[in-house]
Amino acid sequence: MSDEQRQRMRQTMQLVFQAPLAFTIAQSDSSVTFASDSGGALELYGDGRKVTQKVEGAGDVEIKGHWQGNDFVVERKVSGGGKVTEDYLRSEDGKHLFVIVKSEGGRGRSIEFRRVYDGAATK
């Protein structure tokens, strides 16, 4: 594996394991916006339209979102480094958000796990 391929795989693993501790999700008729606790925001369109994020010193990340029933699915592909899929679904009582994360790397390797977020307290 070349140094560039290792860097791209590292970039993919960062997408998998460096999740925000808290974030806000806002939905409009055509898009879903994710705003992290660090101040960054990402707007994705529910029709699968692609968005490209430029990453300084690394490969670009192609991101797209789409609705799958009541779940919103986000797919991130690192140029030459693998794919990360996040499936966002709300619990039946609306108090929790489940994010099922799946990473598919080269050589048939994959990992899948679940993140659970508590809903924000309402006043």
Domain extents for the chain?
3-118
Q: Does domain 3-118 have CATH number 3.30.300.30?
A: no
Closest CA to 46 of 23, 77, 24, 69: 69
What is residue 111's three-state secondary structure? strand
- The pLDDT value recorded for residue 60 is 82
Q: How far apart, in whole angstroms, are the C-alpha atoms of residue 81 and residue 13?
A: 9
- The pLDDT value recorded for residue 73 is 96
Q: How far apart, in whole angstroms, are the C-alpha atoms of residue 106 and residue 84?
A: 12
Per-residue pLDDT of the chain (123 residues; tens, 9 = 90+): 677 777 777 777 777 777 878 888 999 988 999 898 777 788 999 999 999 887 766 668 899 999 999 899 999 888 777 888 999 999 999 899 999 999 887 667 788 999 999 987 655
| CB neighbour burial string for 41-65, b if at least 16 within 10 angstroms, e if fewer | eeebebeeeeeeeeeeebbebebbb
Q: Which pTM value belongs to this model?
A: 0.82
